[in-house]
Structure 1
Amino acid sequence: MDIRDLDRRAGAVLGEVVMQVRPEHLWFPTPCPDWTVRGLLRHIVGANEGFAQAALNGSAPGRAWNSGRLGDNPAGAYRRSNVQVADAFADGGALDRLVEIREFGSYPRRIALTFHQLFCVVHAWDVARAIDVPFDPPQDMVERALDLARRIPDTDSIRGPGAAFERSVKVPGDASKFDQLLGLLGRNPDWVSPLD
């Protein structure tokens, strides 16, 4: 399987959810603590821009990862940033070249794309849950993301307030693979908006 193809599909899956965001949704709370839908979309766009710059240059400054601008068209901003990621990783012969991903360190570009694919799948759920639309990700995406999530350390530098991930959340032993993924990344699969 070509990780670039899987990542492009994951970006499209997230895009399908983002296209359903209406202006009144932008101030809704999300499963990500302290982020409204608008804040989460800014994070998504900024991270896409950071992934793209890192793929092209080997690394990206912190402001690149955090500067997502939505303007008056969040879906358009997402689409543009998603195309930037796909274009930046398009050169097939360079998947082993190292790229620095924020505080996580340097990885071959194929691993960076796996991080991005995980990012798309989980944030698609965050947005879908916040705006109350169905979300059922493809199993191959879930399995690839789950494999990576199991390798992310549960340490203070990576998890907790202000870190990239929340502390993991326990889920039942018979939970689906997707619920296991959510729990590993600090999300309660049963999260319900306080607006409901």
Structure 2
Amino acid sequence: MHINDLLAQHRAVIRASVEVVARVRTDDLGRPTPCAEWTLAELLAHMTAQHRGFAAAARGNGSDLAAWEVRPLGASPVADYTDAAVDLLAAFASPAPEFELPEFQPVSTFPAAQAISFHLIDYVVHAWDVARSLGLDYVLPAGVADLALRIALLVPDGDNRLAPDSPFAPALTAADEADPLARILTALGRSPEWSRHGQAVRK
């Protein structure tokens, strides 16, 4: 895939995440999420920090650990997330040929297309995480499903996913009739049936 096509699908994923996060209210921040042991506030702080870190990497400054620092939520977490997403998309418009991603070990330097793929699949999953925490449905942006599923299926499975800092749990088995989003989620250790105390989907 040409990097411009990848970037177009990545933009769609990030914009979809902004739309979901825009639904968050202050009294939602303590909600549980599909990310084990993270509240919605902690998830948003992580998502915002990752945007800042990947933006720095796209500008050739990914080795600066301060760029990846997870900061406490400010008074306007939705606005902070949106600002970080806008900055990220600006940085990705002309990305460096290689990204330094210090959180990845033992290899931390990746070609731009591979690093962008990492970020894309992370935000497919995290946008779903936010939606489910709020009791909302989440629909993949148009045209993204095939690429996102291919990326998800390339993520290595195994004992490494049992590590405390692993971004994904061990893969689950998808139902035979599962749609692409459900297959993505199960490949990355999420149950498509997750809900907060069985809460009904909020429209």
Normalised by the size of structure 1, how large is the TM-score? 0.89
Aligned pair partner of 1:186 in 170, 189, 200: 189
- Partners of 2:22 and 2:120 lie apart in 1 by 18
- Partners of 2:27 and 2:98 lie apart in 1 by 41
- 1:34-49 equivalences in 2 (<5 Å): 34-49=37-52
Q: Which runs of 5+ in 1 are unaligned?
A: none
Give the superposition deviation at 1:31.
0.5
Give the superposition deviation at 1:158.
4.7
Alignment partner, residue 9 of structure 2: 6
Return the letter of the residue paired with 2:192: P
> Is the 8 Å Cα contact of residues 49 and 68 (structure 2) preserved in structure 1?
yes
> Is the 8 Å Cα contact of residues 168 and 184 (structure 1) preserved in structure 2?
yes
> Is the 8 Å Cα contact of residues 60 and 100 (structure 2) preserved in structure 1?
no
Alignment partner, residue 159 of structure 2: 156
Q: Which moved more, 1:78-87 or 1:98-107?
A: 98-107
Give the superposition deviation at 1:138.
2.3
Alignment partner, residue 100 of structure 2: 100
- 1:17-96 equivalences in 2 (<5 Å): 17-57=20-60, 59-91=62-94, 94=96
Q: Which moved more, 1:148-157 or 1:65-74?
A: 65-74
Residues 69 and 77 (structure 1), Cα distance of their counterparts in 2 relative to 1, 3 Å cut: farther
Normalised by the size of structure 2, how large is the TM-score? 0.86
Residues 156 and 62 (structure 1), Cα distance of their counterparts in 2 relative to 1, 3 Å cut: farther
Residues 1:127 and 2:134 aligned together: no
- Partners of 2:75 and 2:189 lie apart in 1 by 31
Q: Which runs of 5+ in 2 are unaligned?
A: none
How large is the Cα RMSD of the aligned pairs? 1.9
Aligned pair partner of 2:149 in 146, 157, 165: 146
Alignment partner, residue 175 of structure 2: 172
- Partners of 2:172 and 2:109 lie apart in 1 by 27
- Partners of 2:72 and 2:134 lie apart in 1 by 20
**1:99 is paired with a residue of what secondary structure?**
strand
Alignment partner, residue 115 of structure 2: 112
Give the superposition deviation at 1:61.
4.0
Return the letter of the residue paired with 1:100: E
